[in-house]
Amino acid sequence: MSILSAILQGILQGLTEFLPVSSSGHLSLYQYFTGISSEGSAAFSVMLHLGTLLAVIIAFRKTIGRLLVEFFRMLGDLFTGRLFKKTKVTPPRRMLYYLMLSCVPLLFVLPLKDAISGISADSDIIVEGICFLLTAAILFLGERARPGTKKAATMTAKDSILVGVAQCVATLPGVSRSGATISAGLLSGFDRSYAVSYSFILGLPAVLAAGLLDLKKVMGGEILDMSWGAALIGMLTAAVFGLLAIRLVHWLIRGNQFRIFAYYTLVIGVLTLGLGIYEAASGHAIQTLIMGLIR
């Protein structure tokens, strides 16, 4: 793999992982029109996921540090029998509890994992177009939500479940995970900055799980044949652009400019749906043309 290819993939990974435009939807379009299911190896994908994981840890290091300290305190309370005693729960522990609760709905989606993955690999992009439009609708709703003040100390279990359900919907290609979960937080009355923090920290298990799944694919020795120089550059590029994407989302949401992403996904949704309908009617004429040009 060339250095340029590693940098380009790192940029795409870093930006689309965090901007509310759906990385899975864009990947599905890329795969459809090029016929290429993967630009790089599974081992390289692991390194890219490590880059985005690093970006979240750096961006929210203080909050994550407090959550880790609280997690070990919680384990201590569990083993000493103090966990279920009626004592005042600190905001970091409340946030930890609710992050766990937000992950529960994903358990109901696991049996559908193969069916959802099949949507990205099927022979049309109509579903992706509809999902991009769904993302636009979700973002418009989140943008129109009244400014909230809820944070870890005041959010409720109902709020965390709503965000968790939004994360489940975002398993569809074309529905943005960050867009859906941030919008669900805004609709629940979250403070705007807290909605972003909660969404991205909640995404850590998903990013980690994706990396572990890719790692499982390379246990047979592919990782030994990887170009480590290009892989490290790709990882660092994903981390840098991931940080930039996180800061951009923070800046836009504080300035009530989140609708920019809604307009973008609306346009790409209309275009994708239109192309999907045309492709189905024409026998995949555009896909055939593009695949012929790149081969």
CA distances from 109 to 44, 46, 114, 170 (A): 27, 23, 10, 11
Paired tokens of 40: 């790089």
pTM: 0.88
How far is C-alpha 124 from the chain's CA centre? 23
Give the integer Cα–Cα distance in Å for 243 and 133.
26
Using the CB atoms, write b or e for 220-253: b if 16+ within 10 Å.
eeebeebbeebbebbbbbbbbbbbbbbebbbebb
What are the mean pLDDT values of the chain's consecutive 10-residue runs (295 residues total)? 80 87 81 64 75 92 94 87 76 94 90 75 83 95 91 95 94 91 96 94 82 63 63 91 94 86 95 92 84 73
Paired tokens of 112: 């559908």
Half-sphere exposure of 238 (CA within 13 A, CB side): 27
Residue 94 CB neighbour total at 10 angstroms: 19
The amino acid sitting at 45 is S
CA distances from 229 to 3, 7, 41, 239 (A): 8, 11, 14, 16
* CB distance 70 to 132 below 8 Å: no
In the chain, the largest separation of any two C-alpha atoms, in whole Å, equals 68
- Note the pLDDT of residue 134: 96
Residue that the structure tokens 């599974």 belong to: 42
- Note the pLDDT of residue 147: 86
* CB distance 200 to 56 below 8 Å: yes
- Note the pLDDT of residue 44: 73
